[in-house]
Amino acid sequence: MIVPAIGGLIIVLVVLWEAFETIILPRRVTRRFRFTVLVYRSTWLPWRWIAHMIRARKRRETFLSIYGPLSLLVLFVLWAVALIIGFGLLYYDASRRDGFSPALGTCFYMSGTNFFTLGLGDVLPHTSIERFLAVVESGLGFGFLALIISYLPVIYQAFSRREVNIVLLDARAGSPPTAAELLRRQTGPHGYEALQQLLSDWERWSADLLESHISYPVLSYFRSQHNNESWLAALTAILDTSALMIVHADEVCSRQARLTFAMCRHAIVDLAQVFAAAPRAVPHDRLPPEDFARLRAVLSQTGFPSSDSPEMISKLARLRNMYEPYVVALAAFLYMELPPWILAEEIADNWKTSAWSRISGFAVQSQRDEAADDH
């Protein structure tokens, strides 16, 4: 009876291939069925549903921030358990072939001691096949531990690189970042040069985001340090700004905006494909006519050229349609908020606040709102 051996071999091979694709292979995997994807889909959707039940925004974001790191640990544990079960079935079949009748639980126990290289010696392999399997499993267990140790620093280095520019955007575009604030704060001498340099930096940032988050999709679940910041909100604000510059700025200034827009949209579209987040209709206009009028007023005050001609409005609408359905889909899937084009009222930047005192009236009001949410 070779059913246990076949089942064990399949489990071991599937887990090893999954670990290779998830940790070592530096490109997107398009295969339909994957154990890792199944784990994340079956855990993220209930986690997101529970988060939706939490009314207080701060507590909700704290709860959501736990998922990314915790999911990694759960995935590693499931891989380890699956490998132990797979080798346990192989031990069981090998023992029965040589006339032994071990309990299945004893085979799993021997598999666990070999996988974690405990060397207890209370259960020993009796046949040459079992000894061979014991050596192979011990080597795999040692390599599995080394792989995890090397994998975690890579994940957190990529997360740190991502967050640096998001934190830098706080003083440049507000909290949350908006296109109106980003353009307003780049006024003054050499404002256009500074804006072009900023967009150039974000072109590289979005390329790094695309490379790292496609290779390690779990990074997308990692939340930023502040509740009103996220990688998706920052990317959306940069896309909004680039779209405005493409439509209104002169040829010299719009060149970098086009390059940044192309790279940011590339990142958004590919990440939406990774999570099977199909583009969806925007539930409400992110730039209604009254907000567009306020946005034009802000741009006019800062000296940035703006126009409300039908041609310009139509061109801006076409650009928005190229990315907004994707950011809306990702925001719904990852439970992240998208920033507006222009804030309804002034909000204190994160760098202006502290845990002990608030220097803006809006920040105080936000605290009151959170307290009201708690009740």
Rounded average pLDDT over 236-240: 95
pLDDT at 137 over 60: yes
How would you class 99 by CB atoms within 10 Å of its CB: exposed for 0-12, middle for 13-18, buried for 19 or more?
A: exposed
Q: How confident is the model at residue 375 (pLDDT cuts 50, 70, 90)?
A: very low
Q: What is the pLDDT of residues 23-76, one digit of tens each?
A: 887 777 777 778 888 899 899 999 999 999 999 988 999 999 999 999 999 999
Residue 163, both tokens: 């967050």
Closest CA to 172 of 212, 229, 214, 107: 229
What are 309-343's pLDDT values in tens digits? 788 888 999 999 999 999 999 999 999 999 999 88
What would the CATH number be for the domain defined by 3-149?
Answer: 1.10.287
What pLDDT score was predicted for residue 74?
Answer: 92
Do 358 and 364 touch, CB atoms closer than 8 A?
Answer: yes
Element (H, E) at 234: helix 231-248
pLDDT: which is higher, 353 or 144: 144
* Banded model confidence at residue 240, pLDDT cuts 50, 70, 90: very high
DSSP for 235-246 reads: HHHHHHHHHHHH
Q: How many residues does the structure list for the chain? A: 375
Separation of alpha carbons 160 and 165, rounded Å: 9
How far is the C-alpha of 177 from the C-alpha of 187, rounded, in Å? 16
| pLDDT tens per residue across span 162-197 | 999 999 898 888 888 999 889 888 876 677 788 888
For 258, the enclosing helix (H) or strand (E) is helix 251-274
Tokens 């310009």 appear where? 312
Q: Please enumerate in sequence order all residues whose Cβ is within 8 A of that of 267, keeping only pairs 6 or more positions apart, or say none.
A: 206, 207, 209, 210, 213, 235
Could you state, in order of their start, the residue ranges of all structural domains in the chain?
3-149, 174-344
The confidence score (pLDDT) of residue 360 equals: 46
The chain-wide mean pLDDT, for the chain, equals: 85
Q: Please give the average per-residue pLDDT across 235-241, as a whole number.
A: 94
E strand residue ranges, the chain:
none
Structure tokens at 149: 């140790």
Neighbours of 237 (CB within 10 A): 27
